[in-house]
Structure 1
Amino acid sequence: MSQPLNLASLGSLPAPIARPKYAREELSPGILHVGVGNFHRAHQAIYLDDLFNAGRDLDWALLGAGVRSGDEAMRRALAPQDWLTTVIELEPGANKARVSGSMADFVPVGEDARAIVEALDNPALRIVSLTVTEGGYCIDPATGTFNPEHPEIRYDAAHLDAPKGVFGALVAALRRRRERGVTPFTVMSCDNIPHNGRVTLDAVAGLADLVDPALASYIRDNVAFPNSMVDRITPATTDRERAILSERFGIQDNWPVFCEPFRQWVLEDNFPGGRPALEEVGVTFTSEVAAFELMKLRILNGGHAAIAYPAALLGIHFVHDAMADPLVRAFLDKLEIGEIIPHVPPVPGVDLKEYYKLIANRFANPDVGDTIPRLAQDGSNRQPKFILPSTRDRLKAGEDVTGLALESALWCRYCAATDDAGVPIALNDPIAARLTPAALAAKSDPAAFLSLRDIFGDIADAPAFRASFETALRSLWRAGTRNTLQRYLNGETL
């Protein structure tokens, strides 16, 4: 018999389930977090839960916030359970459940972000952290820089008294703090973006430039934007996970989080307004975040992309099943060792090939139940960040890009929205309406897909890449994914 999760039920949960050692009334918010999704609750919230369980820094609790409809859905799910979350760590044969209580409250989510702006009047909120996805930073994919013409940015610049986006909310809140003489908060991105602190600064200050150049200068001079690298594989929650939690652990949680045991957080120590003692619970503070960040983005996130599209075209649903497929696994190995890792700069204290072995083992964990559709989504934002930078580096060095071009061709073939058996693929991408027609046109003219300049940029003009991409795409349509992978692995002409 399972029981609903809430503060009143904590004491009666089954004994093996870890739960907060601190009382909720002991907490006070010090961090406002925008984007309360599965990853945040399996990562930042768990580090803080560990810290609070050690009796440390109880004035750094989380205040949830959001600006999207999904954020309101999360708020509705968590409210009846007093903002508690069950986190299940999926070690094969030894799954463990814990209840996290590091979130003290959740700002109401409305049609605009004024509730966030008002909440940030509280000087006790000294950090704003973000998990708003790679696509949430209003970046031009072709240039990798902030796009001041993005519709969300233009709207908020014209309506800063009632902004709808996260960056409009931050600019409005910083303007109010400046007017009131209140110390500005630190803005900490926890998204998978190269130099995420700098990217966040560009977005916040770039929007402020459109409103008040003096405010923009104040932000650049006074607000800290530390860089970070975050890592934990966290699948989406479905009724499958809810049923497992109920049946195995006796808990009814509206939105539990299932995740791998591994987690990592590397942070630049740039918090003028103070920060929790996260180094006490395993967070690495270093001035060399960029090295860790690039390693993870290229090897892990690039690896996810490398298996996502061939697996999807072969009709494989789970990531661990993709890793068990000899061709998909061999493609990943060859691409990582041969083309990606050679252009990852050294990382202090890390053997890159051993790091890749760790990554491959994590991908293969069958208990995680991560899905290929999750890895394959949002390719228009992920390709320019996780795959194409490796391609660009190799082109600059005059090196072969056959494998990377094949990966891009696999993405193009996937965007045609059917797998090799003709089964429809539901393309989950903000520009799906552009991608599918371009991918279908590329069946007869591969250049049609490369004409998406906002994604490929000048890489589309590189003769070596263009030729390899066209050859690979024609092979995928003519011979299919499995035969194309086999020929690539054999070193044959596609």
Structure 2
Amino acid sequence: MSQQRLNNEILESLPAEVIKPAYDRNEVTTGIVHMGIGAFHRAHQAWYTENRIAAGEKDWGIVGASLRSAGVRDQLVPQNGLYSVVEKSNAGTKVQIIGAVSDVFVGPESPQQLLELLAQESVRIVSLTITEKGYCHDPASGNLNPQHPDVVHDLANPQSPKSALGYIVGALALRKERGLPGFTVLSCDNLPSNGKLLGKVLSQYAAQVDGELAAWIAENTTTPATMVDRIVPATTDADREELEAILGCRDEAAVMAEPFAQWVVEDNFLRGRPAWEKVGAMLVDDVEVYELIKLRLLNGSHSMLAYSGYLAGCETVADVMAVPAFNKLALHFMKTEATTSIDVPADFDIAAYQAELIERFENRALRHRTWQIAMDGSQKIPQRWLGTLRHQLGHDGPIEVLSFALANWIRYVSAVDEKGETIEVSDPLAAELKAICDQFKPQGNDALAASFLAFTPVFGNDLKQSVALQQAVVNWLNKLDAQGTLACVEEAFGDL
């Protein structure tokens, strides 16, 4: 392994085919602080912003903030913030070095320093990829969860917050005190109406701190909605070694991505923004229909394929799609259940979008693990499946695939696979979900399905009333017990 890390000094010596920053990084000033500077942000929003900095918009540099661990800081800071976006497709590999990120702060190590950074007047956008659970909300209602441990901690310790909400409200309080303007808070997480949700929980949190501050924040922030899309699997050691052979140096912060990227943004910024539309982003008045299309078709399919594919023994999404019956199932779900739940704009080619999704899922160059997509299902399912399900139940529409997906998720969170081996379930409600399985599975699948649909943190209060849904889930659970997932898929969907 090369001892030399990617850094400013060796940029010029990288191979000619590698795209590198052609601007002077010393001339870039910080305009954006990004919380949750994981792989997705680095392959998506930072990549869009990099291409605007390269075009001369040098006041939009990014400083990252990690709210949990020092892992990303330890990858990026020794590399002067530089990292590679490696686009992988069946056609080959393309490498671009990103220079937009100048530094990374670790919240738990220096909360005061991060609050001061957020309070700087030059910072005009605070963006977030903190996953669904980072919003400290109740997914079923969309309200702030006042019992959330981070909320309880932050209200008691405003100088050393843990949550994004605590940092944002704390920084805005400093700005108010100092007579400085506020900033735009930009959610880039996969949540429906993410801007409205963020505005709601911010307002509810601020009201717990101080009513006058909450009123000032309402006047001095905006929370635009966004829809983000790019498949970014976790980077493996094999990926890093393959990249090292190309670069001739080590990049510990590299991210893998598909060539496709999409970003739809509500154009509602308080103090300006980069001209992201010049590098392919869509700036629109209303994001909602685009986010519904993406959440219900792409994310809904992805989660369905992740749980059922994992149980069928498939390690990656491409492995799942290589099984003809699964491939047919994915398109069948998009056409019959997901698309029919949305009023698709007349000028949007939904058939082309469906075909493009299938092609993206088939990309064997990206090893996007089913286990990774299956993480945090209790937070994702309300967004990805339940809107579609409620629409279909309300219109006597088809629920065959979604009830199949729910049955597989129930099997998955039992933490035991079809061979009797342990599944490492990564979910904030994993213990509660497993407890439901352990308690009700011995009583039969009717009791198991009923108890899951009555679990209000995921399903709210309405879906347990649906006899049709409960029976459909029970039928699939019975079939999964008898045949296993793969045989069920081949029998039910193999002849589509």
- 1:184 paired residue number: 182
Structure 2 SS opposite 1:233: coil
Match of 1:450 in 2: 453
Runs of 4+ deviating beyond 4 Å: none
1:262 is matched with 260
Out of 219, 222, 225, the residue aligned to residue 221 of structure 1 is 219
Q: Which amino acid aligns with 1:465?
A: L
Query: Counterpart amino acid of 1:68?
Result: R
Displacement of 1:442: 4.4
Q: How many residues align?
A: 489
Structure 1 SS opposite 2:122: coil
Give per-residue Cα distances to partners, 1:136-174, cap 9 Å, x unaligned.
112212223332332222221222222221101100111
Report if aligned partners of 1:108, 1:115 keep a CA contact under 8 Å in 2: no
- Give the partner amino acid of 1:58: K
Q: In structure 2, how many angstroms separate the alpha carbons of the residues matched to 1:484 and 1:441? A: 25
Q: SS at the partner of 2:32? A: strand
Give me the whole-angstrom Cα distance separating, in 2, the residues matched to 1:133 and 1:333.
Answer: 27
Aligned to 1:67: 67
AA aligned opposite 1:448 = S
Q: How far apart in 2 are the matches of 1:113 and 1:391?
A: 42
Q: Distance in 2 between matches of 1:84 and 1:248?
A: 16
Matches within 5 A, 1:280-295: 280-295=278-293
- Per the TM alignment, residue 111 of structure 1 is displaced from its structure 2 partner at its CA by 4.6
Q: Cα–Cα, structure 1 residues 356 and 442, in superposed 2: closer, same or farther, change >3 Å?
A: farther
* Cα separation, 2, equivalents of 1:148 and 1:348: 42
Matched, 1:87 2:85: yes
* Equivalent residue, structure 2, for 1:26: 27
Stretch of structure 1 that moved more, 341-350 or 206-215: 341-350
Question: Is the CA contact 1:235–1:370 (under 8 Å) kept in the aligned structure 2?
Answer: yes
Q: TM-score, normalised by structure 1?
A: 0.95
1:357 corresponds to: 355
Give the AA of the match of 2:473. F
Q: Distance in 1 between matches of 2:100 and 2:109?
A: 27
Match of 2:313 among 307, 312, 315: 315
Give 2:210's match in structure 1, choosing from 206, 209, 212: 212
Q: Percent identity?
A: 38
Tell me the secondary structure at the aligned position of residue 58 of structure 1: coil
Partner amino acid for 2:44?
Answer: H
1:475 counterpart residue number:
479
The correspondence of residues 69-468 of structure 1 with structure 2, limited to 5 A, is 69=69, 72-111=70-109, 113-347=111-345, 349-443=347-441, 444=444, 445-446=447-448, 447-457=450-460, 458-468=462-472
After superposition, the C-alpha distances for 1:6-33 in whole angstroms (9 at most, x for unaligned) are: 0011011111111001111011100011
* C-alpha distance 344-364 of structure 1, shift in aligned 2 (>3 A): same
Q: Report the Cα distance in structure 1 between the residues aligned to 2:371 and 2:125, rounded to whole angstroms.
A: 33
CA distance in 2, matches of 1:223, 1:33: 16
Partner-residue secondary structure (3-state), 1:33: strand
Measure, in 1, the Cα distance between the counterparts of 2:216 and 2:328: 51
Partner of 2:46: 45
Seen in structure 2, the aligned counterparts of structure 1 residues 176 and 310 have a Cα distance that, compared at 3 Å, is: same
User: Which AA in structure 1 matches 2:344?
Assistant: P
State the alpha-carbon separation in 1 of the partners of residues 236 and 144 from structure 2.
34
Conserved? CA contact 2:183–2:220, under 8 Å: no
CA contact (8 A) 1:402 1:465 kept: no
For residues 119 and 348 of structure 1, the distance between their equivalents in structure 2, rounded to whole angstroms, comes to 45
CA distance in 2, matches of 1:84, 1:314: 39
1:114–1:169 CA contact under 8 A, matched in 2: no
Indicate the SS of the match to 2:153: helix
Q: Specify the alignment match of 1:58 in structure 2.
A: 58
Contact map agreement 1:315 1:419 (CA 8 A) in 2: no
Deviations 1:38-62 (A, max 9, x none): 00000111111111222x2101100
**1:122 shift after superposition:** 1.1
Alignment check: 8 A CA contact 1:113 1:165 kept: no
Output one character per residue of 1:315-348: Cα deviation in whole Å (capped at 9) or x when no partner. 1101101111122222222222111110122136
Q: 1:108 to 1:378 in 2, by over 3 A?
A: closer
Deviation at 1:194, TM superposition (A): 0.6
Distance, in Å, in 2 between the alignment partners of 1:214 and 1:52 is 37
In the alignment, is the contact (CA less than 8 A) between 2:325 and 2:494 conserved in 1? Answer: no
Q: What is the CA–CA distance in structure 1 between the aligned matches of 2:438 and 2:400, rounded to whole Å?
A: 22
DSSP-derived class of the 1:322 partner: helix
Partner of 2:59, secondary structure, is: helix
Alpha carbons of structure 1 residues 487 and 359: separation in structure 2 relative to 1, 3 Å: same
Distance 2:397 2:347 in 1: 27
Partner Cα distance (2:494, 2:94) in 1: 42
Deviations 1:180-205 (A, max 9, x none): 11010110011111111111111211
Cα deviation, residue 490, structure 1: 7.0
Instruction: Find the aligned partners of 1:189 and 1:79 in 2 and give their Cα distance.
Output: 24
CA displacement at 1:221 relative to structure 2: 2.5
1:355 deviation in Å? 0.8
Q: Higher mean Cα deviation, 133-142 or 92-101?
A: 133-142
State the alpha-carbon separation in 1 of the partners of residues 386 and 106 from structure 2.
39
More displaced, 224-233 or 278-287? 278-287
TM-score (norm 2): 0.95
Aligned to 1:251, what secondary structure does the other structure show? coil
* 8 Å CA contact retained: 1:314, 1:419: no
Give 1:452's aligned amino acid. Answer: F
C-alpha distance in 1 between matches for 2:464 and 2:79: 50
Alpha-carbon distance, 1:66 to partner: 2.0
Aligned to 1:12: 13
Q: Which residue identity lines up with residue 291 of structure 2 in the other structure?
A: E
Q: Secondary structure at the match of 1:245?
A: helix
- Verify the 8 A CA contact 2:139 2:457 in the aligned structure 1: yes
| CA distance 1:398–1:145, change in 2 (3 Å) | farther
| Amino acid paired to 1:437 | A
Instruction: Give the drift of 1:277.
Output: 1.5
Instruction: Return closer, same or farther for 1:316/1:242 CA change in 2, 3 Å cut-off.
Output: same
Corresponding residue for residue 484 of structure 1: 488
For residues 473 and 89 of structure 1, the distance between their equivalents in structure 2, rounded to whole angstroms, comes to: 39
Structure 2 regions of 5+ residues with no counterpart? none
Q: Distance in 2 between matches of 1:157 and 1:300?
A: 37
SS at match of 1:145: coil
Provide the C-alpha distance between the structure 1 equivalents of 2:99 and 2:494, rounded to a whole number of angstroms: 52
Q: Which runs of 5+ in 1 are unaligned?
A: none
Cα distance in 2, alignment partners of residues 179 and 109 from structure 1: 22
SS at match of 2:222: coil
The AA in structure 2 aligned to 1:482 is L
